[in-house]
Structure 1
Amino acid sequence: MKAIGVSGPGETDVVLLDLPEPPPPGRGQLVIEVEAAGLGPWDRLLNTGGWDVGLRPPAALGVEGVGRVRAVGPGVQEISVGDRVLAHDAPLPGGSGFWAEQVLVTAAHAALVPDALESVVAAALPVNGLTAVQVLEALGLTAGQRLLITNGGGSTGALAVQLAAAAGLAVTATASPSAAQRLHEYGANQVIDYHDPAWPRRAQAGFDAALIAAPGTAPSALPLVRDGGQLVSLTSDAPRSERGIASTDLYVRPDAAQLARLVTDLVQGRLRLAPDPVPLADGPSAYDRVTAGRTAGRKVVLVP
């Protein structure tokens, strides 16, 4: 089958591959015929030791996608052959990921997807959506509290803005000027141009929490958080705690129940996404663009 990934352990070049189909699913597993798969900056970590997802090269990359169930393993009760599912899976049970025509996944990490939801839109949801949900749950803020989000225009930040605004939080986001109108429509109270080196002075200090989605912004955000507040970094650079501020890093985890709720929000129009579909054959160049940060805030999705 056609795939995009790495040819050997430690390889960093992403290339077109011809891989065998996944093995028959074992207990609690599914084989999915992939309709679309998400691509993110984290994918560069899969074969370099930065994120051990059990990759066994030559293998496809990708830890998220949507598709039709082709085979069901023993013990799977709520998903059947022919169902359409969405998943973020890590570790990858077959040692190979979603950037392929088929993939083996853990059934407990998959959520059913209605046929009305377009594949490209669905595939843009799992990692970014789960990250946004999980960081907001970790913060545990209540309506009326103030949240600062850096890189609010990015794929995760934009979802966090929408979910936070829906929960009644007062959201300030840093983003490019081109994203400002979109983020205001999503519910942000204030959008600050991150290009301005003086952006921290434009934000009124005293935030209850800061969500760091842009590398290198945590040191500037921490002084804006009130004593005893919280800072959570999605970029593995949470600074040392001070003034009683809880400062931690957060890493996404698979969660089918959270994913199902996100699918419902998406179908019912409570969430909006801006995917950028790319043919699977163009995966190597898309990977280079994503890992270099040249996406203009749009989520790149590979389509077989």
Structure 2
Amino acid sequence: MSGAETEVALLELPEPPSPGPGQILVSVEAAGVGPWDQLLNGAGWDVGLRPPAALGVEGAGTVLAVGAGVTGFAVGDRVLAHEAPLPGGSGFWAERILVNAEHAAPCPPGLDAVHAAALPVNGLTAVQALEELDLGRGQRLLITNGGGATGALAIQLAAAKGIEVTATASAAAAERLLGLGAMEVVDYHDPDWPATVRGEFDGALIIATGTAEAALPLVRDGGRLCSLTSDAPAEERGITTWDLYVEPNAAQLVQLAEQAAAGTLKLAPEPLPLSEGPAAFARVAGGRAGGKKIVLTRE
């Protein structure tokens, strides 16, 4: 599946080459869809796609072949991965993909392919953002768009550390997010939502585009603001601000997968057949996923 600049369509693609040194060939069982995929459909995020090619930078499947020097995986192993750049020039929305073995994590027995494929990008983004924010028990964190896939995982991971989370989301998502560990959920539809929360947050995690400027005054002097939407405001009052871009990390993915398999990290993916990939892409790119994580599955 691929798009030139605007079109995403079903394609017949050639088989990937045999895995080279340090690589594994994976039979894809499920692949995640995210708003970042529209950046692949053009020049926004260069992950080494060589059209015609499949989109997708995360997924889960079974190892079909291993390249020279690979010791951690064998044929038949179940794995999940976030991969960028794509060594084979094509992504996870396909039957087979080449990935670097060092970026793959073993899939625990209790984690099915759909849930595994829903985890890599959103989970790694949440983990890496929280590590950079470096907050601890009793400190306060503001998350905008807590109802999305990344936000929901960040809430759970932060709450597990004893961090007090306030999240913006729709009113319909409030009960779910409180159940995931948020202390407070604020309706982002209210244009005056910043005035309804107590400020002096130790940190802010910006996941909703256009909310960084509104969140900055709510962060205490010397606090930290991490933007996932490439719009971190200029630093002021000693507040450290930065934009974060996710990176593959197998060790972090191992921990996330184990938590998901144990049920301590909750996911709620919406599986769709691969044939509905173009429609799924359109939903996500148009912001019509309703906060759900869409995962494409082999039919």
Which residue pairs with 2:213 in the alignment? 219
Instruction: Please tell me whether residue 120 in structure 1 is matched to residue 117 in structure 2.
Output: no
Match of 1:208 among 202, 213, 219: 202
Report how far residue 122 of structure 1 moved.
0.8
Matched, 1:274 2:268: yes
Identify which range, 254-263 or 288-297, moves more after superposition.
288-297
Show the 5 A alignment for 1:222-237: 222-237=216-231
TM-score, with normalisation over the residues of structure 1? 0.97
The residue that corresponds to 1:5 in the other structure is 2
2 CA distance for matches of 1:142 and 1:158? 18
Q: Deviations over 1:36-85 (max 9, x none)?
A: 00000001111322111011000000000000000100000010000000
TM-score of the pair, normalised by structure 2:
0.99
Distance 2:281 2:103 in 1: 25
Task: Give the counterpart of 2:95 among 95, 101, 124.
Answer: 101
1:79 maps to 2:100: no
Note if contact 1:47-1:55 (Cα within 8 Å) is conserved in structure 2: no
CA RMSD of aligned residues (A): 0.7
| 4+ residue runs over 6 A deviation | none
- Displacement, 1:116? 2.7
- Paired amino acid for 2:2: G
SS in 1 for 2:165: strand
Q: Which AA in structure 2 matches 1:220?
A: A
The alignment status of 1:138 with 2:132, answered yes or no, reads: yes
What SS does the corresponding residue of 2:11 show, helix, strand or coil?
strand
SS of equivalent to 2:217: helix
Q: Point out where structure 1 has 5 or more consecutive residues left out of the alignment.
A: none
Structure 1 residue aligned with 2:243:
249
3-state DSSP class of the match of 1:18? coil
Residue identity in the other structure for 1:35:
E
Higher mean C-alpha displacement, 45-54 vs 199-208: 45-54
Aligned partner of 1:192 among 179, 186, 210: 186
Q: Which runs of 5+ in 2 are unaligned?
A: none
Spell out, residue by residue over 1:109-167, the C-alpha distance to the aligned partner (whole angstroms, 9 max, x if none). Answer: 00000233111111100000000000000011111000000000000000000000000
Q: Which residue of 2 aligns with 1:53?
A: 47
Task: Give 1:154's aligned amino acid.
Answer: G
Count the aligned residue pairs.
298
In 1: Cα distance, 2:295 partner to 2:185 partner: 27
Please give the secondary structure, in 2, of the residue aligned with 1:214: coil
Instruction: Tell me which amino acid in the other structure corresponds to 1:80.
Output: A
SS of aligned partner of 2:166: strand
Q: 1:295 aligns with which of 266, 286, 289?
A: 289
Percent of counterpart pairs with the same letter? 66
CA distance in structure 1 between the aligned counterparts of 2:23 and 2:6, rounded to whole angstroms: 29
